[in-house]
Structure 1
Amino acid sequence: MNRIEQLLGDQLKKARLKKGLTQEQLAELSGLHRTYIGSVERGERNITVKNLYKILLAMNCSLGDFFKSF
């Protein structure tokens, strides 16, 4: 597992929990599958910018705000 994928996954999970969303709810809002969300959060996937944008849009979070926390 690559460190950047793990960092990104950890940040996504923190943002999701801060919004009070389950992985299933986030998946539904973003149009992605729940297992995909889980694998991204665990750092198992190299997420595309397009899918990252979909997830952040579903959480009403800008790319800039998301990356400020890195």
Structure 2
Amino acid sequence: MNRVRQFRKQKQLSQQALADLVEVSRQTVNMIENQDYNPTLSLCIRLAKVLDTDLNALFWEEEDEQIQP
């Protein structure tokens, strides 16, 4: 599961609620969760703040989570 989606669900936020809090459209949140959109650094920071986490936890894979070729 995408980490943005995972953190959003833990906070019990809908895509629309998260979108409103970070000032983007629901479609943008959906595309981020589906990895169809690369958010700007400022949007990444806003997402991390709203979701009460840091950028590493939200966007970077741990070594053991990386997909093997």
Partner of 2:21: 29
| 1:46 and 2:38 are equivalent in the alignment | yes
Cα deviation for residue 69 of structure 1 reads 6.6
- What is the number of equivalent residue pairs in this alignment? 62
Two-structure CA RMSD over aligned residues (Å): 2.1
> In 2, distance between residues paired with 1:30 and 1:55?
6
TM-score, length-scaled by structure 1 = 0.72
Q: Which portions of structure 1, spanning 4 or more consecutive aligned residues, are displaced by more than 6 angstroms?
A: none
Q: 1:60 aligns with which of 52, 56, 61?
A: 52
Asked if the contact 1:29/1:58 (under 8 Å) is kept, the reply is yes
Flag the structure with larger Rg: 2
Which structure dedicates a bigger proportion of its chain to helix?
1
**Structure 1 regions of 5+ residues with no counterpart?**
1-6
Which structure has more RCO (C-alpha within 8 Å, separation ≥ 6)?
1
5+ unaligned residues in a row in structure 2: which ranges? 63-69
TM-score by length of 2: 0.73
CA separation of 1:33 and 1:18: change in aligned 2, threshold 3 A: same
